[in-house]
Amino acid sequence: MSALSAVVADSATITRRNLIKVKRVPDLIVFATLSPIMFVLLFRYVFGGAIEVPGDVSYAEFLLPGIFAQTIVLGSTTTGASLAEDLQKGLIDRFRSLPMSRSAVLIGRTVADLGLNAISIFVMALTGLAVGWRINSSVPEAIGGFLVLLVFAYAISWLMAVVGLLVRTPEVVNNASFIVIFPLTFVANTFVPLESFPPVLQTFAEWNPVSAVVQAARDLFGNTVAGAPPPDAWSLQNPVAYTLLWTVGFLAVFVPLAVRLYSRTSTR
């Protein structure tokens, strides 16, 4: 068996192990789906009446791509928390003692969490359709919108894998992640138009990768104002390209870093 085939086979085995764990601990999938529904209903009906969206786009159509982006970023923290838990229990040491690829545990973990993110997006999409969200583009463009979200989520999972291998407990992973993730998801175009931001925050939000993911999803789902002038920032004029640049950058930095940390980190 070639080295690549071994990595694929080992990664598939670990992915299966993680998915079986989800099946045996249904609380994981329940809370992964209930949280998106809560966010959709909360922002749609509690805050929706107080937020004005320019043009003929409804707030539901403006909101859902932002909720998608926020949820996949928050969902990616599962990777770090799960790795920290496995380290704490000594499971990582057992994996390292087996004749398997060093990257298989990390690939299996991130792929399984990508599956959880896909389920969350599916549930959110159904909820969004129920509260007035609509896809106004072609089928290939809509598929592209979902793919952009999932590709970015996968890249963030590798960042969270590094966090999970560095800190001591799953609780610390969650706390440390939220300190970074909440500003990134709220100082962005996720819930309100950027025109309402103060100048300094507006500049940050325009170049925030989360804003690019949201803008890319809105463009691909057809949830933008027809004939509206393009955004001023290059990042939002070319949101798909900007998102892919960040995705490649995250993977190029954090995949090798995570593999190196996995090889060196000991049980706590």
pLDDT, tens digit, 9 for 90 and up, residues 134-172: 999 999 999 999 999 999 999 999 999 999 988 878 888
Is-contact 219 138, C-beta < 8 A? no
What is the overall mean pLDDT for the chain? Answer: 87
- 180-208 pLDDT, tens digit each: 888 889 899 998 888 888 999 999 999 99
Query: What sign for the dihedral angle of Cα 252, 256, 258, 261?
Result: negative
Rounded to whole angstroms, how far apart are CA atoms 82 and 28? 11
Angle (CA) 14 96 94, round 5°: 80
Residue 34 in this model has a pLDDT that exceeds 70: yes
User: What does the pLDDT read at residue 35?
Assistant: 79
User: What does the pLDDT read at residue 240?
Assistant: 97
Is-contact 267 93, C-beta < 8 A? yes
User: What does the pLDDT read at residue 266?
Assistant: 53
Domain boundaries along the sequence of the chain: 3-264
* % of residues, the chain, pLDDT over 90: 41
The reported pTM is: 0.90
In this structure, of 19-28, 54-63, 183-192, the range with the lowest mean pLDDT score is: 19-28
* % of residues, the chain, pLDDT over 70: 96
Rounded to whole angstroms, how far apart are CA atoms 238 and 259? 32
User: What does the pLDDT read at residue 66?
Assistant: 92
- 41-50 pLDDT, tens digit each: 888 888 777 7
Q: How confident is the model at residue 236 (pLDDT cuts 50, 70, 90)?
A: very high
- 73-129 pLDDT, tens digit each: 988 888 998 888 888 888 887 887 778 887 889 999 999 999 989 988 998 899 999
User: What does the pLDDT read at residue 38?
Assistant: 86
Rounded to whole angstroms, how far apart are CA atoms 235 and 229? 15
**Three-state secondary structure string covering 152-216:** HHHHHHHHHHHHHHHCCCHHHHHHHHHHHHHHHHHCCCCCCCHHHCCHHHHHHHHHCHHHHHHHH
Q: How confident is the model at residue 250 (pLDDT cuts 50, 70, 90)?
A: very high
* Distance in Å from the first CA to the final CA of the chain: 34
Rounded to whole angstroms, how far apart are CA atoms 84 and 77? 11
User: What does the pLDDT read at residue 227?
Assistant: 61
User: What does the pLDDT read at residue 139?
Assistant: 95
User: What does the pLDDT read at residue 221?
Assistant: 96
Q: How confident is the model at residue 1 (pLDDT cuts 50, 70, 90)?
A: low
